[in-house]
Structure formats: structure tokens, C-alpha cells
């Protein structure tokens, strides 16, 4: 198999030999400071760099250069995403699953956990609970099970989610994280009005992939790896990729991840909308120590910084798997979206106490959404509940064009302030409200266009009077 980023064959666009050569090249050149400087110079143009160049940066351990890498990642983050952080929550629909993934408690052979699938009434209850927290953007999750979770079930759930309007609440964007499926099913998801289709590769190393997925349809590496091509063929413009760090060597995964992004850009003219960086976490029947590729917090942060530099236009997502300390550091280096107030069990939001019996993984950040919003603002960020782009038809290449021209900033910033204002009025505690009003006051002044500033001021008044859902 030869490396070819334009190929539609998994083993050619994620080519094992190319990845191994890349990792070897990166190790051989990691302290070639002239080369590192040359790559950093390229990266400063903010047009992204190749998987090879990015791998050299990741391997580099010269203290001064590593600092330059971090500084550049932070600067790119500021230039493209400002100080905004978009918030979302996962919603677990069903933990029935026919696969045998060794790192996930939902694997078929796990008989300790109760199996549960939400009825439409239960979905509605979860959505009301999420709306009452203040969420506007969800990522739905379900195991792979053609009998219990067929595509019709997922579509019904999406319809229910969009239909619930509780008090001033509404879920305005549903992202979908379900198993690899057919072009036809992707078209159905597109027609149901989903935002991003998310599918983690777990690991790009085929040999290891097959060991980690010993049974079930997910065992098929090519079918899984080529899923994003089918999704795009089915009409989905925005796709989200990711690996589960800890399953294989991080340098291998990093190169694979960027090769996947390069492939999507080369073939479909638009790279991934988001990249997620989850790490293996403890859960029922799962001990992360069983996977000997766990990586330190420092290396995890460096990976995030190098992703930020390599693909500046791609959003980066981190979940509540990480502690607040790691989240704080990594947000600065490039993350643009985080989950908040998450419950990773089926039916978890409608329960008063956080249930653990059907959890997919241990949540390390147990704060409420209000606490996360409060913390973000104290750290200098603007929490955003914006969902404007896909609702305005700004998806795929239209979105990327706006991003690359820098024009998207004129939408993100005012939208963040207006959605934050909604949150403060409808859901925030007194303390969060107080800080939030100060943040809005301060940040209005930073909107560059006077006309936009005036419109935002008018709309903020209207929001205070009860109107909702303004957007640019």
C-alpha cells in the first residue's frame, strides 16, 4: 500500500509506512533547530502545516523552541477564536452495543452494567433538564446496535430534541456521535438537520485497532476509517474527528489524525470541522492501566498546541474527562469548545443525583454548567452558547471560507455576547450574573465595527425584555 492522501482507501490515506517514517523523521530531526525554525516560520503564516512538519514540532524538546511552539499556539488561538469558548453537553441515548471495544464499558460482553435506551418521553425529560441548565448545543451519543438503536430511533430522538421548547429554552444544534454507517443513513441525518457528525477513530494503527475491536461491525478498520468520506458523500458538510489518546503511541496517533484531516481537505475541499482530544479514562470494567500508552498531562497539552498550529481553522474540543487544571491549560493553547455539567450515563440529566451505573467514563470535572461558566469568565473567557453558523447555512466550505478570511470573527464575538446574555437572564446564579454583566459591558467595546456594536447593544436590551435567538 502506498501513501496517497487523495485515495479513498483507508490504508492509503492513513498509510502505516508513511506514519512510521514520519515518526522516525521527527525523532531524527527533533533537535535540528534550523529546521524547527523553518517550520515555525511556515506556521506563523497561519495556513497550517503538514503532518510531517507538525510531528517534528511535537517531538522537539529544546526548551526554548517548545516555548515558542506554545506561544505560537496561544497566539493562533487568540487570532482565530479570541477569548470565546463554546459550550455543549453530551446526551447519551442508549448504551446497547454489539461491539467489543476493549476500552469502553458498553462493550457487548460487559454484563455488570444495566442496559438502557431512552424512550421519546425520557429523551424529552433529558432535554428539559439540559435546557434548564442553559444548554443550546448537544452531542448525542449511542452505542451501535441495529436492533435497539436503528437509524430510525436516532432520527426520532433528533426530532424530539428539536421539538422541545421549555420556558425560554431550546436546543438549537444537535451534533451526532454514532457508529459508522451508510451514505444513505448519513443523508437521513443531514435531512434531520444535524450539526456536526462526529466519529472518533479511536486509533489509527490498524493492527492495534483490530485487537482493540475484536468483535462486531466496528472491527472493520476500513469501513470505520472511511466513514467521514461516506458522511460527506451523504451531504454532511461538517465532520468531527478524534482519537482516544492512550490506546496507541501518541506520536503515531498525532500523525494519523493530521493525515486524516489532510485527506478530507484534499478530497472534499474542506477539512474536519472539529478535532476532539479525549484520553482513556476509568469506567466499569475498564482500567486505563491496561493500555500502556497513557501520556502525561504535559505531552497532552503539547499535542493540543501542535494541533492548533497544524490546523488553525479546525475547532478543538475537550470533554469533562479532564480535570479543571488540565482544561484550563489546554483551553489557552487551542481548545475552542468544551462540555460543561456533563453526565455520561443514559438518562443522567433527569436524575437529581449523578447516576454512575450506566456511565461511559468517569467525569473528572464535576462542576455544574453555571460553575463552569463562572470559572471561564473569571479566567478571562467569554462562554458562548452560539449555534449560528449551521442555522445560517454557514457549513462546510462556506464556513471555511469565512474562517480563512477572518470574517467569522464578526459573527462569533457578538453572538457569544448575546447568547451569554440569554444564559445570564434565564439560568445563571447571582454571582455568575454579576460577573457576566461586567464581561458583556467590557467586551461590547471590543467589537470593531461601530454599526455591529450598536446593533448588539439594541439586541441586548431586547433580550433583557424577553426576546431570544438573535444571531449574526
CA–CA separation, 384 and 88 (whole Å):
9
CA distances from 342 to 247, 251, 311, 462 (A): 23, 29, 27, 30
Which residues sit opposite 445 in a β-bridge?
none
The yes or no reply on residue 107 touching ligand SF4 (CB under 6 A) is: yes
In whole angstroms, what is the distance from residue 317 CA to residue 304 CA? 10
N-to-C CA span, the chain:
47
Binding test (CB under 6 A) with ligand SF4, winner from 386, 418, 424, 460: 386
| Contact flag: residue 99 with ligand SF4 (CB under 6 A) | yes
Binding map of ligand SF4 across residues 116-155, x = CB under 6 A, - = no contact: ---------------------------xx-----------
Would you call 389 helix, strand, or coil by DSSP? helix
Q: Is 106 in the site for ligand SF4 (CB under 6 A)?
A: yes
**Read out DSSP for 395-453?**
-HHHHHHHHHHTTTHHHHHHHHHHHHHHHHHHT--HHHHHHHHHHHHHHHTT-S-HHHH
91 binds ligand SF4 (CB under 6 A): no
Question: Which residue from 268, 232, 227, 275 is spatially nearest to 253, judged by alpha carbons?
Answer: 275
Please state the closest distance from residue 287 (CB atom) to ligand SF4, in A.
16
Residue 77: all three cell numbers together = 488561538
Q: Rule CB under 6 A: choose which of 85, 86, 301, 338 binds ligand SF4.
A: 86
- Stretch in the footprint of ligand SF4 (CB under 6 A) among 93-101, 117-125, 262-270, 441-449: 93-101
Rounded distance between C-alpha atoms, residue 353 and residue 162, angstroms = 26
Distance CA 369, CA 415 (A): 19
Q: How many residues bind ligand SF4 (CB under 6 A)?
A: 20
**Considering the complex, what minimum distance in angstroms separates the CB of residue 237 from ligand SF4?**
13
Least Å from the CB of residue 93 to ligand SF4: 11
Least Å distance, CB 414 to ligand SF4, is: 9
Shortest Å, Cβ 419 to ligand SF4? 8
φ/ψ (deg, to 5) at 110: -75, 110
CB 113 within 8 A of CB 105: yes
Q: Which is nearer to ligand SF4, 55 or 339 (CB)?
A: 339
Nearest-Å Rg of the Cα atoms of the chain is 21
Shortest Cβ 26–ligand SF4 spacing (Å):
29
If binding is defined by CB under 6 A, does position 411 make contact with ligand SF4? yes
Measured from the CB atom, is 94 or 131 closer to ligand SF4? 94
Residue 444 beta carbon to ligand SF4: minimum distance, rounded to whole angstroms: 17
In the bound state with ligand SF4, the residue whose beta carbon lies nearer, of 68 and 443, is 443
For the bound state, the minimum distance from the C-beta of residue 259 to ligand SF4, rounded and expressed in Å, comes to 22
Instruction: With contacts defined by CB under 6 A, name the span among 56-64, 101-109, 288-296, 435-443 that binds ligand SF4.
Output: 101-109
Query: Is the Cβ–Cβ distance between 256 and 14 less than 8 Å?
Result: yes
Residue 391, Cβ neighbours under 10 Å: how many? 15
Select the residue interacting with ligand SF4 from 29, 65, 135, 218 (CB under 6 A): 218
Q: Is 238 in the site for ligand SF4 (CB under 6 A)?
A: no
CA geometry: angle 317, 322, 327, nearest 5 deg: 65
Binding mask 262-291 for ligand SF4 (x = CB under 6 A): ------------------------------
All three cell numbers of 184, joined, read 444513505
In the complex, the smallest distance separating the C-beta of residue 204 from ligand SF4, rounded to whole angstroms, is 16
Which residues, numbered 172-201, are part of the site for ligand SF4 (CB under 6 A)?
179
The x, y and z cell numbers of residue 270, run together, are 474542506
**40 vs 412, beta carbon nearer ligand SF4:** 412
Show contacts with ligand SF4 in window 321-360 (CB under 6 A).
none
Nearest-angstrom CA–CA distance, 353 and 337: 26
To ligand SF4, the closest distance from the beta carbon of 152 in angstroms equals 19
E strand intervals along 100-189 = 137-142, 173-177
Contact flag: residue 389 with ligand SF4 (CB under 6 A): yes
State the residues that interact with ligand SF4 by CB under 6 A. 86, 97, 99, 101, 104, 106-107, 143-144, 179, 218, 384, 386-389, 408, 411-412, 415
Amino acid at each position: 500500500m502506498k501513501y496517497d492522501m487523495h485515495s479513498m482507501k483507508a490504508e492509503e490515506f492513513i498509510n502505516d509506512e508513511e506514519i512510521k517514517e514520519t515518526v522516525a523523521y521527527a525523532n531524527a530531526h527533533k533537535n535540528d533547530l534550523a529546521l524547527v525554525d523553518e517550520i515555525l516560520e511556515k506556521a506563523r503564516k497561519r495556513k497550517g502545516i503538514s503532518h510531517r512538519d507538525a510531528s517534528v514540532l511535537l517531538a522537539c524538546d529544546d526548551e526554548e523552541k517548545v516555548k515558542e511552539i506554545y506561544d505560537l499556539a496561544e497566539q493562533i488561538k487568540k487570532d482565530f477564536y479570541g477569548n470565546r469558548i463554546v459550550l455543549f453537553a453530551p446526551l447519551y441515548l442508549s448504551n446497547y452495543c454489539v461491539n467489543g471495544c476493549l476500552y469502553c464499558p458498553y462493550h457487548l460482553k460487559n454484563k455488570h452494567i444495566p442496559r438502557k435506551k431512552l424512550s421519546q418521553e425520557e429523551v424529552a425529560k433529558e432535554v428539559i433538564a439540559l435546557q434548564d441548565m442553559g444548554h443550546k448545543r448537544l452531542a448525542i451519543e449511542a452505542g451501535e446496535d441495529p436492533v435497539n438503536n436503528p437509524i430510525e430511533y436516532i432520527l426520532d430522538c433528533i426530532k424530539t430534541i428539536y421539538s422541545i421548547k421549555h420556558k425560554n429554552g431550546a436546543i438549537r444544534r444537535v451534533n451526532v456521535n454514532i457508529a459508522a454507517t451508510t451514505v444513505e443513513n448519513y443523508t437521513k441525518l443531514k435531512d434531520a438537520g444535524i450539526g456536526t457528525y462526529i466519529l472518533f477513530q479511536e486509533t489509527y494503527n490498524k493492527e492495534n485497532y483490530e485487537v482493540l475491536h475484536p468483535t462486531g461491525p466496528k472491527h472493520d478498520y476500513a469501513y470505520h476509517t472511511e466513514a467521514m468520506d461516506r458522511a460527506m458523500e451523504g451531504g454532511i458538510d461538517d465532520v468531527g474527528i478524534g482519537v482516544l489518546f492512550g490506546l496507541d503511541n501518541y506520536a503515531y496517533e498525532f500523525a494519523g489524525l493530521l493525515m486524516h484531516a489532510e485527506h478530507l481537505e484534499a478530497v472534499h475541499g474542506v477539512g474536519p470541522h472539529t478535532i476532539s482530544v479525549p484520553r482513556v479514562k476509568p469506567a466499569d470494567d475498564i482500567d486505563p492501566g491496561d493500555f500502556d500508552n497513557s501520556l502525561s498531562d504535559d505531552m497532552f497539552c503539547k499535542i493540543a498546541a501542535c494541533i492548533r498550529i497544524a490546523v488553525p481553522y479546525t475547532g478543538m474540543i475537550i470533554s469533562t474527562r479532564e480535570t479543571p487544571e488540565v482544561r484550563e491549560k489546554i483551553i489557552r493553547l487551542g481548545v475552542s469548545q468544551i462540555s460543561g455539567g456533563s453526565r455520561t450515563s443514559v438518562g443522567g440529566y433527569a436524575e437529581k443525583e449523578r447516576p454512575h451505573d450506566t456511565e461511559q467514563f468517569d467525569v473528572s470535572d464535576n462542576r455544574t454548567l453555571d460553575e463552569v461558566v463562572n470559572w471561564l469568565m473569571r479566567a478571562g473567557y467569554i462562554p458562548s452558547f452560539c449555534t449560528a453558523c449551521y442555522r445560517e447555512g454557514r457549513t462546510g466550505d462556506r464556513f471555511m471560507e469565512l474562517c480563512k478570511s477572518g470574517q467569522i470573527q464578526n459573527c462569533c464575538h457578538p453572538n457569544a455576547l448575546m447568547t451569554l446574555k440569554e444564559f445570564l437572564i434565564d439560568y445563571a446564579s447571582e454571582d455568575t450574573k454579576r460577573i457576566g454583566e461586567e464581561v458583556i459591558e467590557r467586551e461590547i467595546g471590543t467589537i470593531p465595527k461601530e454599526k455591529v456594536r450598536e446593533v448588539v447593544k439594541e439586541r441586548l436590551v431586547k433580550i433583557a425584555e424577553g426576546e431570544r435567538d438573535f444571531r449574526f
